[in-house]
Each structure stands twice: as structure tokens, then as C-alpha cells.
Chains A and B, each alone.
Chain A
Amino acid sequence: MASETYLSKFNNVYDKTYLDLLKYVIIKCHNINDANDIIQEIYLELWNIINKKELSNDNIKSYLIGIANNKIKKHYTLLQKIKTISIFEKNDKDIELIDLLEDKINIENIVIQKDNWLTIWQFIKSKKNQDIPKVFYLYYKLELSIKEIAKELNVSESYIKNLIYRTLKELQKKFGDGGISND
């Protein structure tokens, strides 16, 4: 009976906080492929805490953010952190040019040869610059604006536009009509 009560409370917290926490984890993590694991670790810790003490619903979100920070820190060894540091210059010279190219390449203009967007998403996630999958997640999944994403990632809007532009171009080349889709 007691665990049913805990489960009900846990489910309630999960439903209310999942999306915000996932957004936070995706922004803060070093590799988007770790997001699922980190999210699970956070809620597992929450479950253990709920079983031990009463948590106020008022500050549950900030409480979870605190757990998330710890989990993200613990999840990465120093070596992993060094390995995943972006080598992509955030102030590339062509950023201004990209600004001028605005909307020239739209995701809807890409003609995908094999309609397999799960493969495309896996390709995006595998990019060395992990800002790319983060930006794609925030832009296409959460539908945040370029401005909002720039603020969340603490980078310039031009940088975000540049990432999207370059990646779409790459997708067009790799998966689009006439592109190579199997490498």
C-alpha cells in the first residue's frame, strides 16, 4: 500500500517535470546520447528520496535540477569531458554570411531519398559537435526559436543558424535526392 502511494506521487512528479527536466539535461549534457541514461538516473534517485522523506511539490522542480546537476557531473569522467569539447569554432567567419542566407535552405526543401528519419536523427546525434543534435532537438522537437536556443546554450543566434544551415546542407547531400545514404 505504501509503495502504491509512493508510485502515485512519483508518477505525478514525473508527468509534471519530465519535459522541463529533459530539456535541461539535453542542454547541459556533453553528449545527447547520454540523455536517456541521465534522465533515468535522476528519476531513480527521486524515487529513493520519495521513499525516505516527504518532498514539497513547490520546489520539486528545482530539487530535480539539483539532482540533475550532480548526475551530469558524475556521469562524465574528466577524460570524457575533454573528449566531447566542441572543436567547432563558435565565431566562424562565415557566420555573418549565414545570416544573409537565412531561410535559403529549409528542412522542407530537402528531398530524402529513403524516408528514414530515424537514421537521419541517429546521424545528427553522432556529430562530433554535440551542439548540433542539441540545436536540432530544441528547434525541431521543442520548437524553440533561434533566439531562445541561443540564450539556453549561451551562444550567438548566428552560431545556431550556422549549425542548422550547415547540417541541413549535409543532410541534403548525404540523404537527399542523388545523395549517398549508406555511409
Chain B
Amino acid sequence: MTNKEKLKKAIEQDINPTNNYNEIIKKIEKEGQMKKENNLLKWSLVPICLIVIISGIIFLNYKNDNNDSLENQTYIDKDNNITLNINDLSKVGMTKLDADIKTISGVNIPYPFKVNGNQNEEWFIIPSDLTQTKNYIVYVKKDKDSKEYDTVANYIMLITDGNERSIEVKYAKEQEPLRDYYFSEENSKTTTINGIDLKIYKYENSFYTTFSYNGYYFDIETLNITSQEFSNYLVSILK
């Protein structure tokens, strides 16, 4: 083989039509694969987007149906003597307070509501998942110098699902129950249920209400309870 032939062979080895063809086919296949994957990704995103949109709509509808139905307007039920207003506390601000107290749990506490016949909590209209009831007595010192927590400040009846949903009923005979928060009641609208005036406030995922009934001062606070569930509960106890 001459030098010229050897050089020609070396050049052909380096710049080779078959090698180039194979490389091109490889790239074509790779591009095709990428296109397929892109198409798959694109079309798989469609149902995901649909699911997200539909879930969003359902969630918003659910929220509207369950949470906000009573929150944005005055609800009037003349037959049952109910005028319901819920005040949004997020617009007025709230201050938390610290109180020097002692709380005793698992004790018997006086029952503050009017009942027909036997005392039975089940006549309350409460969400079916709130199956646990816990009782507490909150004690305070008689005066600043006292070392003993010897005066009952209020009672607490906590109705809960054992997790994140609850209705906490605080009540006291002589004075309003101790609160660990303060908020302005200025310009707040009054709710009337069976002739009893009360003010209902909403803050984030909680409702608060204060009222006097059956010789007691009440503060009721809920957590993750809907406005409908809360109003049902109030109507059921304020008879």
C-alpha cells in the first residue's frame, strides 16, 4: 500500500460516511424519544391541571357552602326568632393577655343550660365527630397577696373530636369568664337568638361569642368549626 493510500485510508477512518450516518440516526432516535417524552409529559399535565382546577372549584364551593354561608351577611329567621351577625375580628385586631390562674381538670362542674327532663348533653346540636367532653375549673387568687388559688373564676366545658376541632364553653356565675385575649367590640353587630343578644366574632379558623343566659356569663370559642355548625349549636343551647 502506498503512502497516499495509507493517508487516504486514515482520512476515511476519521471522516467516515457510515460513522456519520450512524451518529445521525442515533440523534434522530434521541430527538424522537425526547419528542415522545415531551408529548407524554404535555398530555400527562392536562389531566393533572384538570384535577387541580376541578379540585380548586370543589374546594372553593365546599368552603363557600360550609364556612362562609353565614359570615358575609345578616341571616334572619323570623320563625325561630334568630338574627345572626358574624363580626370579622381580623379587621379590628386582637390582644392576648396572660392571667395568673390554676386549672383543675376532670372534675364535676355545674350545668349552665336549661334542659327539659333529664340533663343530657346529647340534645345539643353538635357536629357528630365531637365525641369527647372534658371539664375544667379555673381558679384564681382572691387578691394579690394571697398564695392560694382559692376562688373559682369560671368553668370550662370542652367538646372536641380529640384532634383539631372543638367547642370550648367558658361560663361563670358572678362575673364574665377569664379571657386570655381582648378585642374591641366597637361597631360589632349583635346577633339575637330566642331574644338573647350575643355578639359573634370570627378570627381565622375560630369563632367567639359572649352572652348572658340562664344566670351565667358565657364565652364560647370554637376551633375549625363551620359557621353553620356553630350557629346550630348556639340555637340548640339558647332555648
With beta carbons under 8 angstroms apart, the residue of B10, B19, B31 that contacts A117 is B10
Contact A118 B17 (CB under 8 A): no
Q: Which residues of A contact B20 (CB under 8 A)?
A: 18, 36, 39-40, 43
Question: When each residue 61-76 of chain A gets 1 if its CB lies under 8 Å from chain B and 0 otherwise, what string results?
Answer: 0000000000000000
Chain A proximity mask over B1-13: 1 for CB below 8 Å, otherwise 0: 0111011111111
**A125 CA / B24 CA spacing, docked (Å):** 23
Q: How far is the CA of A19 from the CA of B4 in the complex (A)?
A: 19
Q: How far is the CA of A155 from the CA of B7 in the complex (A)?
A: 24
Give the total of A residues in contact with B, Cβ under 8 Å.
Answer: 28
In whole angstroms, what is the CA distance A121 to B13 when docked?
A: 10
* A/B pair count, beta carbons within 8 Å: 65
Known: A18-B17, A108-B2, A112-B3. A43 touches B11 (CB 8 A): no
Q: Is the CB of B4 within 8 A of A120?
A: no
State which residues 95-123 of A face B: CB under 8 Å.
107-108, 110, 112, 115, 117-118, 120-122
Bound-state Cα–Cα, A137 to B107, Å: 102
- Main DSSP-derived SS at the B contact region: helix
The reply on A14 being an interface residue by CB < 8 A is yes
The residue on A at minimum CB distance from B25 is A7
A141 adjacent to chain B (CB < 8 Å): yes
B contact residues, total (Cβ < 8 Å): 22
Which residues of A are interface residues toward B (Cβ below 8 A)? 14, 18-19, 22, 26, 35-36, 39-40, 43-44, 47-48, 107-108, 110, 112, 115, 117-118, 120-122, 125, 136-137, 140-141
Given contacts A14-B17, A44-B31, A110-B3, 5 further A-B contacts (CB under 8 A): A26-B15, A36-B15, A36-B19, A40-B27, A121-B7
17 pairs from A and B in contact (CB 8 Å cutoff): A14-B17, A22-B15, A22-B17, A36-B20, A44-B28, A107-B4, A108-B3, A108-B4, A110-B3, A115-B6, A117-B6, A120-B7, A121-B7, A121-B11, A125-B14, A140-B4, A141-B11
**B interface list, Cβ under 8 A from A:** 2-4, 6-15, 17, 19-21, 23-24, 27-28, 31
